[in-house]
Amino acid sequence: MSQPAIPDPRFDRAREDVGNIVLLEHVNVTQPDQQLATLFYISTLGFTRDPYIMVGLENMWVNIGRNQMHLPSGNPQRIRATIGLVVPDLDDVVRRVGRFGPKLAGTAFTCDRTGDTLEVTCPWGNRFRVHAPAPEFGAIDLGMPYIEFDVPRGSAGGIARFYRDIMAAPSRETAHAGTACAEVVVGRDQRFRFRESGADLPPYDGHHVQIYIADFSGPYRRLLERGLVTRETDAHEWRFRDIVDPDSGSVLFTVEHEVRSMRHPLYGRRLVNRNPAQTNVAYVRGHDDFRGTC
């Protein structure tokens, strides 16, 4: 008869928990100029326009590893957050900023480097923090490891309880850069951070984030009981906007979540990612595709 195993103190098993949210896939913000969006996301940052879906002039899906930015045409929206990105070579991005940055003059575009991080603002004011690959981002060398939202003071604890109790996602209240923060696991090597700020937050303007969840009906039922489901899209998707304190029901923060099941036809879809170092004058046969880990 085998003996029960003795827990190995070297391993924190809880660090491997993913929870109910299995993937943060995309962020959706409207913007008014598809050509300028192409210059910023494709030419400068080096990402890839999806070649199969939304290929017209009214919308653009931008592939970033297994993640995306969705960019419908419209008045500019600004997510009340900093979007974390990882790229395989930060120096390549800096070189492209030198080449294409002057064409973004007269917009809100900025780019500042500190060590292995670039603080970048898009032409309409959305904030990105672009990193080189690092152990804190796990296996990601091209992708979106986190979104760091700015939230009101005193809200981090309630937000952590919301994701833990309603969405069944591992969540905790912690400190990030010396500020109270709710950290939520939203997939392998991905996080939502809700960092408290004393600054006045701009009004919510309709942008959204999209997640896939394993238990599709449980969070739906708990939100429906609270009157928080805002859209019944189809059999595979529903949406909500308000993050509330599970105890008091008070609204803590608003950002629309597009919630999809793992039976959604788009779940696990392979996204095309090009190698932005390829050019017609310095072409290397067989190296058109990105070959890292997303």
Question: What digits encode the pLDDT tens for the residues 242-260?
Answer: 999 999 999 999 999 999 9
DSSP code at position 13? G
Distance (Å, rounded) from C-alpha 182 to C-alpha 158? 8
Which pLDDT score is estimated for 287?
87
Q: What percent of the chain has pLDDT over 70?
A: 99
Contact between 84 and 145 under an 8 Å Cβ cutoff? The reply is: yes
Residue 13 predicted with pLDDT over 80: no
Which pLDDT score is estimated for 273?
96
Please give the distance of CA 75 from its chain centroid, rounded to a whole number. Answer: 21
**210 forms bridges with which residues in the sheet?**
26, 258
Q: Helix, strand, or coil here: 243?
A: strand
Longest dimension (CA), the chain: 74
- Does the global pTM surpass 0.75? yes
Q: In degrees to the nearest 10, what's the CA dihedral of 23, 29, 34, 37? A: -70
Please give the single-letter amino acid code of residue 259. V
Name which of 23-27, 82-86, 198-202 the model is least confident about.
198-202
Round to the nearest angstrom and report the end-to-end CA distance of the chain: 43
Cβ burial 13-47 (10 Å sphere, 16+ → b, else e) = eeeeebbbbbbbbbbbbbbeebebbebbbbebbbb
pLDDT in tens, 71-116: 999 999 999 999 999 999 999 999 999 999 999 999 999 999 999 9
Domains of the chain: 14-261 (3.10.180.10)
Q: In what order do the strands lie in the sheet with 143-152?
A: 110-114, 117-121, 127-131, 81-86, 143-152, 191-197, 179-185, 171-176
